[in-house]
Structure 1
Amino acid sequence: MNDEEFLKAFEDASLDPKLFDHKAHIRMGWIYVMRYPLAEAIEKFGRALRAYTRALEAEAKYHETITWFYMLLIAERQAAHPAATFAAFLGKNRDLVAKPSILTRYYRAETLASDRARYHYVLPDGAMVKDAA
């Protein structure tokens, strides 16, 4: 599926949820970052993702802090090393889809598990979590 088809299927909630894994989330975030100024990309992607999870009756899966964190990171990485395709972007940024999640470098588990982080963007937990321990 090309980016246009992928975006359309996501926005009209016809995208098979089995195809919307973590890598697909990153791809969709990259598509929005490529098409809109950052603030608008975050707003549009967040709105579309909430609508998609609502259509799947899986609203509890939406997480504001995780969404914002990845959108900010995608935008920062794309600005630093522009890539014309998602495959090229991912090739330079494998850590965005690697295990353990890059989130563990910036957030404590209890921070991400909080209702505050789920419903409102929370800045990372200060210095990188592993360095702070």
Structure 2
Amino acid sequence: MTDDEFLATFEKCTLPSEQWTHAAHVRAAFLIANQSSWSEALSSIRSRIQAYNAATDTPEAIDRGYHETITQAFMRLVYAANLQTGPHATAEQFCQRHPELLEKRALFAYYSRDRLMTWEAKREFIEPDLQPLPIVEIRTPD
């Protein structure tokens, strides 16, 4: 599936749930970040994940469903990586350049499990307790 096809199926909430993996989250984040300013990218990924979860009846649990801190933190990692090493023509190129982001545990370099896996962190963004997230440069899309 091409990047355009993938993003369209995600946006239409027709991507099969078994294909909505961590790697797919990173792919979607890259595709959105690549075409948007930081604030637009964050707003877009947030609303699209929430819409997808609602459409697929994803249950809300501490380790399932929408998680605000995980969404914002991963989006910041993806956005910053893309600014630092881009442009990347495809999500595949981006992921090959940044395999560390394909690891679900990547956020544990920034957050302790006790801080990240809380209902507070699920509801609202909380700052990391181990090291700061990268600072994202504000830019407008090309």
Q: Normalized against structure 1, the TM-score is what?
A: 0.90
* Identity across the alignment (%): 29
Deviation at 1:127, TM superposition (A): 3.0
Q: Where does the alignment leave 5 or more consecutive residues of structure 1 unmatched?
A: 129-133
Count of aligned positions: 127
* Alignment partner of 1:103 out of 91, 104, 107: 107
Matched, 1:91 2:105: no
Structure 2 residue runs without a partner (length 5+):
133-142
| 8 Å CA contact retained: 2:112, 2:130 | no
Give the alignment's Cα RMSD to 1 decimal. 1.4
Q: Who is 2:136 aligned against? A: none
- The residue type equivalent to 2:81 in the other structure is R
**Alpha-carbon distance in 1 for matches of 2:17, 2:70:** 19
Which amino acid counterpart does residue 36 of structure 1 have in structure 2?
S
The 3 A distance-change label for structure 1 pair 98 and 57 is same
Moved >4 Å (runs of 4+): none
* Residue number in structure 2 paired with 1:27: 27
Distance in 2 (alpha carbons) for counterparts of 1:10 and 1:3: 10
Give the TM-score normalised by structure 2. Answer: 0.84
Give 1:1-133 correspondences, 5 Å limit. 1-60=1-60, 61-82=65-86, 83-98=88-103, 101-127=105-131
Q: Assess if the C-alpha contact under 8 Å between 1:50 and 1:59 holds in 2.
A: no
* Residue identity opposite 1:80 in structure 2: Q
